[in-house]
Amino acid sequence: MRGRRSWKDTALGLAFLAPSAAVFVAFFFLPLYRLIRLGLFQQNRYGTKETWVGFSQYTDTLTGQEFLDGVRISATYVLYTVPLGLVLGVLLAVAANRRLRGMKVFQTIFASTVASSVAVASVVFFVLINPQVGYFSDVRFLSLAHPDSALRGVALSSVWQNLGLTFIIVLAALQAVPEEINEAATLDGYGPVRRFFRVTLPLISPSLLFLVVVLVIFGFQAFAQIDILTGGGPAGATETLVYKIFDSRDPYRQGTGSVMAIGLFALTTVVTALQFRLLNRRVHYGN
Amino acid sequence: MDDPALLPAWKKALWYLVLGALSLLVLFPVWMALVRALSTPASYVRDGQPIHPVDVQWDIFGRAWTEGDLTRKVLLSLAVTVIVVVAQLITSVLAAYAFSFLEFRGRTACFAVFMGTMLLPLEVTLIPNVQTIRDLHWLNSIQGLAAPFLATAFGAFLIRQGFMGIPRDLRDAAQLDGFGHLAFLRRVAIPVTRPVIASFAVISFLSAWNQYLWPRAVVTEGRWATLQIGLKDLAAAKVEQSNIGVAAALLAAVPVLALLIFLQRHLIRGLTAGAVKG
């Protein structure tokens, strides 16, 4: 009885996994193999012929100026977007986490930017900061027309676009903080500020860690906002790693592009693992 | 939280002031986009770009719809989105069921391999994936736009979490009633986890509708532009037509805004699902 059962379970299990597995093989695992392999060959102009170059293309590309520029620009972008976005999101969530009449309206407004895709947010911000007729086109600090400030302008659109998600997740975390803990802290003579930093913040730290990880990944994957707002310019100042990879999809550039993609993969994996290691020590998981 | 009954009136007023100011800050970009869309471009620039509309053109959204060829773009985006959402629901529910109710050798290993795909974003495998689509002659096609997204490990994971919450007793009872796996899946497992599945569907819709990098890579003819990537060309038009692009962008946000307002509970549950520990 048992043997027959598990044989049937195995067949059914494999049948149920097959549709997903087919997609994963075709669009995740085979491409990963081809990505590694593409990096070992140099393609001719039309992608019709390739020459084995071994790992020299890996070392050349990963130490080359193009890749290093991409890493620098992507990392700067992450630094511009993540801390500011997180602080603003927490601010909105703390403000909206109280019982007042009409609070649902404010909460919906604060969450509303999740309705905007990156493309929509970029067009909306194009109205504000485009160099010709943007409302803030005179603000040099955010100017898209100058290499030293363009990335900041683009980053601002991402900060705004991510506010909704950050707000929703932090608010959910705040609402899960048991009331008794706050009451106990108040009885112990904690003022609101000390209560926030000593009691609330540690309790919501798992959600904050999650947000940091997600926002950093978003930052490293930024593409649409660059494509729409600057097209990588001026003078390549906003060419993030993903933008460079996208630009390398023509057959003759595939070799370098593939190595840069592997570089991006390694970078995001290492950064994510580091965040878990470093931040996890400070994160407080209940029970 | 503070009991509202105990809060003095001046404190309440102060909070409303803070909340109002923050709302203005969040809504300011949207308001400016609306002003830009409604204003006649030349008069708006002439008047020094005020924070209110100038020479309002109420028909701008209709014009953006026709001049931006939005019917085709919206239908294309909708077709791709519906295919992706339906396919993800089917593949994820089946995989989740295998991972929670079917016992077979290698299940844990399969689960690990599935979850591994979450570490490998499309940005990384973009180049070989575009090559695959090119080799299949699927550039500029619905199948090319949808193919890589027909399954997702996130969905399998989320729905599995839901399935794991089904009490053993319920399973045993169903088994005693002579339910096979297919009957149990259809008549018990799916109905019981409907909230989780609905949340996943909302998130799946959101990410499919907002897709940008992939369509940009596999669409080479303007005719096949989805709504999101079509916005780029509309927004890049000359200043005299800038109102069209902005109006189109605002229109593109409407379906998701509707989701936010009418399915808020599901959207929030889906978005926060990743944040719960485990």
What is the count of residue pairs from A and B with beta carbons less than 8 Å apart?
A: 272
* pLDDT, position A147: 86
Which residue among B114, B120, B129 places its CB closest to the CB of A20?
Answer: B114
pLDDT tops 60 at residue A5: no
Instruction: Tell me, yes or no, if A141 comes closer than 8 A to chain B by beta carbon.
Output: no
Q: Say whether residue A186 is in contact with chain B using an 8 A CB cutoff.
A: no
* A107-126 pLDDT tens trace: 999 999 988 899 999 999 98
pLDDT for A33-47, tens place per residue?
999 998 888 777 666
Q: What confidence score (pLDDT) does residue B278 get?
A: 31
**With an 8 Å Cβ cutoff, are A228 and B102 in contact?**
no
The predicted model gives A224-246 an average pLDDT of 91
Confidence band, pLDDT 50/70/90 cuts, at residue A216:
very high
pLDDT of A129 > 80? The answer is yes
Report the pLDDT value the prediction gives residue B3, as an integer from 0 to 100: 56
Give the burial string for B111-148 (b: 16+ CB within 10 Å, else e). Answer: bebbeebeebbbbbbbbbbbbbbbeeebbbeeebbbbb
pLDDT given for residue B274 in this prediction: 58
Sort A7 into a burial class: Cβ within 10 Å, 0-12 / 13-18 / 19+.
exposed
**Given CA atoms B273, B78, B225, B69 in this order, what sign does their dihedral have?**
negative
Q: Which residues of A touch B125 (CB under 8 A)?
A: 27-28, 31-32, 35, 261
State how far residue A148 is from chain B, nearest Cα, in angstroms: 22
Residue A50, strand partner residues: A43
Give the distance, in angstroms, between the CA of residue A214 and the centroid of all CA atoms in the same chain. 5
Residue ranges, chain B, pLDDT below 70: 1-6, 239, 274-278
Can you count the helices (H) and strands (E) in chain B?
A: 16, 0
Residue with tokens 């909105």: A92
CB contact under 8 A, A114 and B232: no
Residue-level pLDDT at A88: 96
Q: How is chain B split into domains, by residue range? A: 9-58, 62-273
Picking from A14, A172, A227, the nearest residue to B272 by CB comes out as A172
State the greatest distance between any 2 C-alpha atoms of chain B, in Å, as a whole number: 78
Contact yes or no for A261 and B124 at CB 8 A = yes
Nearest alpha-carbon partner for B228 in B252, B256, B257, B254: B252
| Residues making up chain B, counted from first to last | 278
Task: Supply A129's token pair.
Answer: 């900061």
Q: Are the Cβ atoms of B259 and A115 closer than 8 angstroms?
A: yes
CATH topology of domain A58-280: MetI-like fold (1.10.3720)
Task: Report which residue type is found at B22.
Answer: L
Does the pLDDT value for residue A2 go beyond 50? no
Q: What percent of chain A has pLDDT over 70?
A: 95
Both tokens assigned to B215: 């369509």
Task: Convert the pLDDT of each residue in A261-284 to its tens digit.
Answer: 999 999 988 988 888 888 777 776
pLDDT number for residue A286: 57
**For the complex shown, is ipTM > 0.85?**
yes
Closest to A35 (Cβ–Cβ): which among B26, B128, B264? B128
H-only helix segments in chain A: 2-24, 30-38, 56-62, 65-96, 103-111, 118-129, 150-175, 179-187, 192-195, 201-220, 224-229, 241-247, 254-280
Instruction: Compute the average pLDDT of residues A65-90.
Output: 95
- Window 44-73 of A: residues touching B by CB (8 A cutoff) are none
How far is the C-alpha of A210 from the C-alpha of A216, rounded, in Å?
Answer: 10
Chain centre to alpha carbon of residue A222: 7
**Nearest CB to A32 within list B94, B123, B125:** B125
Q: Where in chain A is the domain with CATH 1.10.3720.10?
A: 58-280
| Spatial CA neighbour of B231 closest among B39, B78, B77, B41 | B77
**Residue A187 pLDDT more than 60?**
yes
Is the pLDDT confidence value at A287 over 50? no
CATH number of the domain located at residue range(s) B62-273 in this protein: 1.10.3720.10
Distance CA B198, CA B193 (A): 9
Q: How far is B173 from chain A (nearest CA, A)?
A: 18
